[in-house]
Chains A and B, each alone.
Chain A
Amino acid sequence: FESSHDYYEYDQDQADAMQEHSEPDLVEQLRSAGSVDELMRIVYPTYRIMLKCRSKMGSRLLRREPSSTETRSEEASFAAAFINLELLKSIEIEWRKTLCMPRQVCLDVGKEFGATNTFYKPPCVSVYRCGGCCNSEELQCRNISTSYISKTLFEITVPVKQGTKPVTISFANHTSCSCLSKQNLYRQQHSIIRRALTECHVANKTCPKNHSWSNHLCKCVLLPDTLHSKPHSDFETDFCGPDKELDEETCQCECRKELRKAGCGPHHYLDKNTCQCVCKAQPSSCGPQQSFNRDTCQCTCAKVCPRSQPLNRTKCVCECTESPNKCFLKGRRFHPATCSCVRPPCNVDPKRRKCKENEYFSEELCHCIPTYWGRLD
């Protein structure tokens, strides 16, 4: 008979089997994850919110209204997440079946209480022993509590003289199990480790930006923050879309917090549907001669003015920059047609250009004026 299972019996209880690392590597965390829930929390921090909202949405979906367009789009986007959740659920069920726990196994009585000239019928008994898989290679499934169960068998001694003799034998029955560290075991037992846990030969901990040294991989790896961004967006994009995330309170897809906190600036607000910054005012609120500016979210004057009459944006009218008073101060003449100050030609006899002692000839006025008036040019 060849025993298909190798079972361990650990008599002493072990407390504090494994101490948690304060800052474990991401890969170490992934290796040590013991359930789908734990695994998803590491990679997708919003996984818990999705599960919580799913339980709420479950009852809500029953009361859905097919006529509503919004309900349809919401249901469609939520249904996409169901596929992923269904897959995760099947993985979770599989995971639970392989956990470290007491399992019914066949135990060879002859090997347990072996004597070559004695055999038992039945040759094996069914008892519970710790079995299953641990989530880390450093751990081993061990019993932390044991009871004893009596079994009645026929014992036959060779040469057979008295025939079969019924005997009652007590067997260890494991009642609770735990994954314990192999190194902390009191009795050192031989165990085959698929991969040897060796330290890094080169302790090179100087890494580039956004990288950190991994004692597990013996090289620089991207920081968890950088790693989380891609899977994070990939997972949530399927459900809410690129610009939205699942809100825990409302169980609705809301615009991301970064967008909400950043703000849109004056005269803008964040549209909940498109997660884009849109204007508070509406184009219809502008005047007849005005047009709506989408950049500033304000009404602007749409009137087209000639070059000589620039636009007054406040009044929304075409106005001349010059006026008769301004032209007079310049010593010129105001020309309404061109909205400019002009100077007529001075056709004066050269003789009259000679002025008295305290006077000079003004080209603007075409006349002799006193010197103390000052030059207007």
Chain B
Amino acid sequence: YRPQRDTNQEKWEQELREAGSLDELLMLTEYPDWKLWRCRLKLKHFDDVTPPENRRSTRYAAASFSPEMLKDIDDEWQKTQCMPRETCVDVAKELGTNTAVFFKPPCVSVFRCGGCCNKEGVTCRNTSMTYVNKTILSVSLAPYISGPEPVLVKIANHTECKCQEHSLIRRHARERHRKNSCSPTRKPEDKRLCNKGLIWDWMAERCVTYPSSKQEPPSAITEEDCEMDVERCECIPKEWTHRLHYT
């Protein structure tokens, strides 16, 4: 059994590396109370289910972990998932403007994909995005004619993220980068063309009505990956194979 066992060992270790949640990890390591842990999570009565006496049970002293510790690890894991996060983006770099123009504030706050992936060779990238309007002040130095002028800029806002391979993302990133670098530069004669109530749209290169609506951050959608079995107090995975495929 040695050759086959070694192969199985490596495969199992690889699955351990790619585990994307505490539930998955506990199952792979054949944690004795992993079913109980799953039921506790689903019932959402974490404190009630655990009597104080059970904490000092000598039956599983060698192999069991504190439920509080497991909860802390699970919470930490959730916080570091690949998801849209509020990020500071440098406007000048995003628009690809030359050094003759600078913006105040120099950065804006938008949502970009961030967080960690559970295996190597993949990066957290956006699978969908929108553009949000940001109102900032621009100062033109070539030549400096007037003070800061309000302008409207559109910045990419990631709405969904996923851990993907590198090769696919590089092409996408290059394409987007080329698009950004083609932003035109305004002419000095265009200064202060906008009337009251209008604002200069940096991308459209014309005066538009000043929008007063505020952008709402994307809402996080939590998907349930299993169904609860009431009798056995067990959660049967709904699309277990599908989930393994994605992680």
Contacts and interface: CB of A to CB of B under 8 A. Distances in A.
A123 B146 CA distance: 51
Interface in B70-120: 72-73, 76-77, 79-80, 86, 88, 90, 92-93, 99, 102, 104-109, 112-118, 120
B212 A91 contact: no
B206 interface: no
A30 interface: yes
Contacts of A227: 144, 146-147
A194 B92 contact: yes
Interface in A83-142: 83, 86-87, 90-91, 94-95, 97-98, 104, 106, 108, 119, 121-126, 131-135
A328 B156 CA distance: 107
Interface string A210-254: 000000010001100001001100100010000000000000000
28 contacts: A1-B123, A4-B114, A4-B124, A30-B104, A31-B102, A36-B104, A80-B196, A83-B196, A87-B150, A91-B136, A91-B150, A94-B108, A94-B109, A97-B88, A97-B109, A98-B106, A106-B79, A106-B115, A119-B17, A122-B73, A131-B88, A133-B88, A135-B106, A156-B16, A195-B99, A217-B144, A227-B147, A234-B146
A152 B72 CA distance: 7
Contacts of A125: 76, 80
Chain B binding surface, main DSSP class: mixed
Interface in A282-319: none
Interface in A153-180: 153-154, 156, 158-160, 163-164, 166
B131 interface: no
Interface of B: 9, 12-13, 16-17, 19, 22, 25, 29, 65, 69, 72-73, 76-77, 79-80, 86, 88, 90, 92-93, 99, 102, 104-109, 112-118, 120, 122-124, 134-137, 139, 141, 143-144, 146-148, 150, 192, 196-197, 199, 210, 212
Contact of B107 (A5, A80, A133, A221): A133
Nearest to A105: B114
Contacts of A20: none
Contacts of A133: 88, 90, 105-107
Given A121-B25, A163-B29, 7 more contacts: A4-B124, A94-B108, A121-B16, A159-B13, A166-B73, A194-B92, A221-B144
Chain A binding surface, main DSSP class: mixed
Interface string A36-72: 1001000110000000000000000000000000000
B184 to A, nearest CB: 19
Contact of B25 (A5, A26, A86, A154): A154
A17 interface: no
A231 B146 contact: yes
A85 B28 CA distance: 59
Given A133-B90, A160-B13, A231 B147 contact: yes
B76 to A, nearest CB: 6
A118 B135 CA distance: 47
Given A27-B144, A221-B144, A126 B79 contact: yes
Contact of B118 (A123, A132, A234): A123
Contact of B76 (A27, A31, A122): A122
A22 B142 CA distance: 25
A53 B122 CA distance: 56
Interface of A: 1-2, 4-5, 26-27, 30-31, 33, 36, 39, 43-44, 80, 83, 86-87, 90-91, 94-95, 97-98, 104, 106, 108, 119, 121-126, 131-135, 151-154, 156, 158-160, 163-164, 166, 194-195, 217, 221-222, 227, 230-231, 234, 238
Contacts of B19: 121
